[in-house]
Amino acid sequence: MSYCLNPSCPKPLNHPKAKKCRACGSKLLLRNRYHLVKGLGKGGFGATFLAADLSLPGQPLCVIKQLRPNTDNPNFLSMARELFEREAKTLGKVGNHPQIPRLLDYFEDRQQFYLVQEFVKGNNLQQEVKKHGVLDEKKARQVLTEVSIILRDIHIQKVIHRDIKPANIIRREIDNKLVLIDFGVVKNQVNTIAAGNGDQTALTAFAVGTPGFAPPEQLAMRPVYASDVYALGVTCMYLMSGKAPKNIESDPLTGEIQWFKYIDVSDEFADILLTMLEVSVKNRYKTADEVLQALDMTEHLDDLSHSMVGFSSDLSEDKGNSGSHGQVASYSSRRTTSSRSRDQMGTRERTGSRSRANPKSRRNDSASRNRTASRMGTTRNTSERNNRGNPISRSQGRAQSQGRSNRVDSTGKNPPREIKKPIKVDRQTLLDSYAGGRRDFAGKDISLQNLQKANLSGSNFHHSRMIKVNFQGADLSSADFTGCDLRQGLLRNANLGRSYLSYANLEGTDLRGADLSFAHLKNTKLKGANLCGANLTSANITEEQLVLAKTNWTTVLPNGKRGFW
């Protein structure tokens, strides 16, 4: 078939050998070279066609995009022409990328503008989902990685795509590579100029992005590189759920899309998607390169978690094998304890220098030391009571005594230190122990456990390994998490009031809606922690820590006021 380019033609389809349109009389061959085979799509500001280039051997197929401003305003046409040429050059530069269609030609014909690009044969990701179903996490991660690499390369060229969506990502049939199509830069630039000159036509509201995929700042005509990151996050959400964003409800307070109920996804990948889908640009990944770094980090953590094999899955197994399992604490715990000891020594030195100059300070320091000694004695007595009759503790003592006596081998040299893993504790064992009156779980490995809505208030988790633990809605008030590794944890809506989190690692932890009032957060790592909606009233936390975390207008700051930090 031959296709007529006249926007007002009532019957654009014609016989393949026709020279002129039988309906409107328009010339069918564009620029005496391009034979339009069929229409691929149209909108209020243009149309896309599949065409054959008759001037080349084999008459290869190409894609022609027609930009047709529906106005006779000479000023507008002049601006459109200038911007069209400028953006065609930009597309020519970006089109050198192997996963972006090359720009083959651009020209003006009868006050309409044309871009001719390489034709990519294959199905787009929207078609793939409809044909084969949704993607699992592994495939979605592959798509996210591959498209992020393309975006990183075009962002380096100072180009924003503005219309990332499944329909604009084609899986190339020849090599199975993903190709990014349909850049909206030309249309958006024209619209911005038109709006600035008061020409309030349908053009000013067109092509700012696809509704549901475009973030708020892009809809406000202020796109940034992070706008493409948001749209790519929504694209992944669609690929894994099969649901368009308009069909998924959003949080009325934060505006966040409530996608997680439709997707089975790991905590690490969920955290990446959550950051990509942040409504506020401040809290979102700023560039595609940051997304790639996050993906590399989670893959590294996955490799570590697979390589770390504990000696036991819970305490009940340890009781039967106490001789080999309970010898020493983990290397990371000892290192953190040593670091904390050095910090305390430095603190004592500074305090001592102040005390020598101030008698009142000496009295206060003396009282403080007495209180500290009293607490240490209480802790030691409590620990002794808890461990009395405990075969694990007795075996630990024997093993440590044997270790001291055998510290030098037969050659007179110190043997290499053996690094032991912390004892793993499963959910049920932990809850049963707590119900039985036990509160001391220091130095344990509680990673990956689901402790949602558990009551563990007042517990001692000192230097425990708790990566990706689920404490959502749990009561952890007055608990001691000093030196704990809580990375990637889920503590949403948890009660952490008056808890001790000093020197803990909370990087990437979800603390949305958590109660952290009067919490001790001295030297706590909070990079990437999500504190949106959290209550930080009177919390011991610094400005430097808050800057590294994510906050929004629902966050209650230490001064009791709501707002961003």
Which residues are part of the catalytic machinery?
Answer: 163
Return the amino acid letter for 487.
Answer: R
Spatial CA neighbour of 337 closest among 506, 483, 465, 499? 483
- The torsion angles phi and psi of 161, rounded to 5 degrees, stand at -70, -50
Largest CA distance in the chain: 105
Helices (H), 242-280: 267-276
CB atoms within 10 A of CB 214: 24
Helix, strand, or coil here: 16? coil
Return the amino acid letter for 41.
Answer: G
Q: What's the DSSP call for residue 284? A: S
CA dihedral 460, 330, 401, 405 (to 10 degrees): -160
Q: Cα separations (Å) of 25 from 21, 66, 233, 276, 352?
A: 5, 19, 47, 51, 97
Q: Are 463 and 333 in contact (CB under 8 A)?
A: yes
Print burial letters for 215-237: b (CB count within 10 Å at least 16), e (below 16): bebbeeeebbbbbbbbbbbbbbb
Return the amino acid letter for 6.
Answer: N
Q: Are 500 and 477 in contact (CB under 8 A)?
A: no
Return all residues near 302 (Cβ < 8 A) that are at least 6 apart: 268
